[in-house]
């Protein structure tokens, strides 16, 4: 079996870093949480153990993970740090962020429509409960950002389309990283109200209103990213 060249190996590690980031997002891992055993994680990500080990070493060297001999691998930094440091160049510039937001503008209404069609009342009530849990944390921007990420992941899962769900998760990471890196003037109270309104419309099975509110919510994010980019370049 041919040994991967250094260039190809680097590319594989980069791809696995992105898969690991998606794993962290999907499972909501935070500081102190333990990753699955290496063999199990490699099987879940469908990658070889040596290449996975190289990616874990990369993260370990940057202080994101803590590897305990015989005890497992733990998230050392919080979720925000993981997303910010996993980097396959998620900064990408304003052009990339614009493209990601444009893609989300197309995809999110579809996910909302499918979620309204396929999710049970209990599923949507659980989503509403998740929204209320963060209502007391509006003074904690990091907690809010993690909630917002999980909110959109949860809606994508309720759509019950794995392909679209994975696509949505891949679109969340770049914007989320840019958002948490330099966007700190989001009106969190307004964002919470928007989440509440979106879920309320979904519970009523009001597809038109839910998708309209989702577009308004995304517009706020887009505006905040643009303002932050302008300030950073000033």
**Is 93-233 in the same CATH topology as 6-85?**
no
pLDDT for res 185: 61
- CATH class of the domain whose range is 6-85: mainly alpha
Sequence spans of domains, the chain: 6-85, 93-233
Domain at 93-233, CATH class: mainly alpha
> What three-state secondary structure class fits 90?
coil
Give the C-alpha separation, 15 to 33, whole Å.
Answer: 22
Rounded Cα distance between 130 and 117, Å, is: 20
Integer Cα distance of 67 and 61 in angstroms: 10
pLDDT tens per residue across span 68-102: 878 888 887 654 444 444 444 444 455 567 777 88
- What's the pTM? 0.61
């Amino acid at each position: 079996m041919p040994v991967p060249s250094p260039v190809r190996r680097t590319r594989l590690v980069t791809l696995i870093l992105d898969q690991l980031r998606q794993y962290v997002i999907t499972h909501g891992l935070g500081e102190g949480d333990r990753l699955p055993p290496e063999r199990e994680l490699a099987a879940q990500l469908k990658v070889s153990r040596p290449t996975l080990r190289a990616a874990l070493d990369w993260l370990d060297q940057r202080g994101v993970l803590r590897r305990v001999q015989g005890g497992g691998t733990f998230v050392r930094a919080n979720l925000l740090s993981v997303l910010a440091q996993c980097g396959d160049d998620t900064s990408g510039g304003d052009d990339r962020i614009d493209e990601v937001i444009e893609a989300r503008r197309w995809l999110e209404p579809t996910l909302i429509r499918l979620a309204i069609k396929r999710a049970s009342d209990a599923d949507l009530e659980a989503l509403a409960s998740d929204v209320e849990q963060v209502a007391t944390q509006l003074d904690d921007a990091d907690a809010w950002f993690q909630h917002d990420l999980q909110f959109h992941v949860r809606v994508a899962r309720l759509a019950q389309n794995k392909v679209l769900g994975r696509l949505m998760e891949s679109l969340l990471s770049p914007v989320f990283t840019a958002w948490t890196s330099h966007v700190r003037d989001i009106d969190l109270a307004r964002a919470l109200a928007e989440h509440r309104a979106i879920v309320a419309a979904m519970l009523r099975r009001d597809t038109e209103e839910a998708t309209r509110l989702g577009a308004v919510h995304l517009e706020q994010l887009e505006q905040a990213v643009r303002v932050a980019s302008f300030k950073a370049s000033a």
